[in-house]
Chain A
Amino acid sequence: MAGWFTKTRATIEAEAKKTLGKGIFRRCVGCSETIKDEEFVRNYEVCPNCGHHYRLRAPGWVELLLDEETFVEHDANLHSKDPLGFVDSKPYPTRVTAAQKKSGHTDAFVSGSGKLNDRDVELGLFAFHFMGGSMGSVVGEKITRTIERGLANKAPVLLLSSSGGARMQEGALSLMQMAKSVSALGKLREANIPFISILADPTTGGVAASFALIGDVNIAEPGALIGFAGARVIEQTIRQTLPEGFQRAEFLLDHGMVDAIVPRLEMKAHIGNLLSLWLD
């Protein structure tokens, strides 16, 4: 059912843009209200009427989570190779170039240092609109470097996941990024430096099954899809319909997999408070 839901949402969004004219207005999928686009933007992509959360891009997250003008981006120059010479309907490098043009990012991850309530932190964010936020060598390397910087600077590490999982086009190299990033987390734990995992929509596959669900705390956004296997694959495997709300943040909270569901606009305060309770 989750797959069906997502598809419908995407269709509605596309329709809204087409019929309501050049993104001036948007019709919310949560409450069906037609609201000015700029109000969504001002509200960090949360519906001002019903609180439905849409995906927020990296610059918005940086602004939302970090103290003003404290963010310094790192490793922006890393870009992927084509280690397998992978071709499906298009060659992999063509897909990467198209994603770079569309997103303005070199790959699916943005990372840097900054301050949260005056405290040094290392922040890493997935860019879902870059090939579904998939994790290949560049993403894995940037995550690992973010964790290593946290270790070197004794700064808490915040990773915000929004990813379909490992990037197929880099084959087993993508798979190994799971082991690489988690091994780095092992060092962080040994050093008693906090790792806060923020789970945004969606967090699935190899990203879920590596660092994303093993945070010192896991904090999910309302309604975020979080899970290991895709709902369609599960339905085909077990041949039964999945329950309402399956793999949504609330489902994970019920099953003990996340510490809290926190609305986006309260995220910074929530994390700031936790870090203060642990470290001050």
Chain B
Amino acid sequence: MAYLDFEKPLVELERRIADLKAASDGLDGLDTQIAELEARAQTVQRNICDQLSIWQKVQLSRHPDRPYFLDYVEHCFTDFTELHGDRLYSDDSAIIAGFARFNGRPVAIIGHQKGRSTKEKVHRNFGMAHPEGYRKACRIMELASRFGRPVLTFIDTPGAYPGLGAEERGQSEAIGHALYVMSQLKVPVIATVIGEGGSGGALALGVANRVLMLQYSTYSVITPEGCASILWRDGAHAPDAAEQLKLLAPNASKLGIVEEIVEEPVGGAHRDVPNMAQRLTVALEAQLKDLDGLSAEELIEDRYAKFRKIGAYNG
């Protein structure tokens, strides 16, 4: 378990709980002590959460133990069959796509995947997709549209990859085309921001009838670091930029960008992954049910109407 600076008060408590649990084998007296310590840990955690700054919440969205797409695949879906490749150039492992069952119902699932270990981080390119990733996503989404399967996407990326090959192979076109493809899907589309919703690379999986955000996820036009280096001319101003960008879930909800915020367990999704997955399952099931019965035309029009009204202007 990794701890961020502001989680440090938990370290000692949790170590003692673990020690006591190990020692309590068959000894009654310790149970009450353990329960007391656990209650205290809960309180500490609640206090930490109540006092989080915007920047600390941004850090939670990128917590090294935060559940990634594959964790939700494991907990929320069965029969997952991954499909590889864009049929044009390669298979991008920063985006995982395929079909699975959700509460028994066949769906397409597509998500950015970050890595846990250093090796896997590199393999997944830190969740930053190349054009191939978006083209693969489009391929799977169009399959889903043909076979009448809802599309569930899971957004968790710092942004699309800024690299030489990505530019050569049309990163801009790939993202633009993904936005177009999603706008035309004849099936229900639900996107959930599970961690970082980083600019165009995130939106490329986000043109959905319903957009959900986990409580401590972010959705932003640019990373706070990128924004700080442009407007403050100093990346160290990232916390200031984060404050100005209003990138947290409640902000996005107020701006009319997301339909639902899924609450996380006390301390954040990483503190209780099965619980988080359960909450997300319930939310997705309700949203899917809500879209059931809409025709292909109605779903496309519903998606159009959702994005058509986003914006703030006079006149």
Contacts and interface: CB of A to CB of B under 8 A. Distances in A.
Interface in A122-178: 137-138, 140-141, 144, 166-168, 170-178
Given A81-B313, A212-B172, A228-B167, A186 B183 contact: yes
Given A178-B179, A183-B307, A243-B164, 18 more contacts: A78-B313, A79-B315, A81-B312, A87-B244, A144-B308, A168-B231, A172-B220, A172-B245, A175-B221, A179-B183, A179-B203, A179-B206, A182-B179, A183-B308, A184-B304, A210-B200, A229-B171, A238-B164
A246 B165 CA distance: 11
B182 to A, nearest CB: 8
A178 B201 CA distance: 12
A137 B173 contact: no
A80 B167 contact: no
B176 A182 contact: yes
A242 B164 contact: yes
Interface in A230-273: 230, 233-234, 237-238, 240, 242-243, 246-247, 255-257
Given A171-B246, A209-B160, A89 B312 contact: no
Contacts of B164: 234, 238, 240, 242-243, 246
A213 B204 CA distance: 14
A214 interface: yes
B176 A173 contact: no
B244 A88 contact: yes
Interface of B: 160-164, 166-173, 175-177, 179-180, 183-184, 197, 199-200, 203-204, 206-207, 219-222, 226-227, 230-232, 240-241, 244-247, 251-252, 255, 257, 303-304, 307-308, 310-315
A187 interface: yes
B172 A137 contact: no
Contacts, number: 199
Contacts of B226: 233
B245 A168 contact: yes
Contacts of B227: 168
Interface of A: 75, 77-81, 83-84, 86-89, 137-138, 140-141, 144, 166-168, 170-180, 182-187, 189-190, 205-206, 208-214, 226-230, 233-234, 237-238, 240, 242-243, 246-247, 255-257
5 closest A-B pairs by CB: A229-B162, A137-B311, A208-B172, A83-B312, A77-B315
Contacts of A246: 164, 167
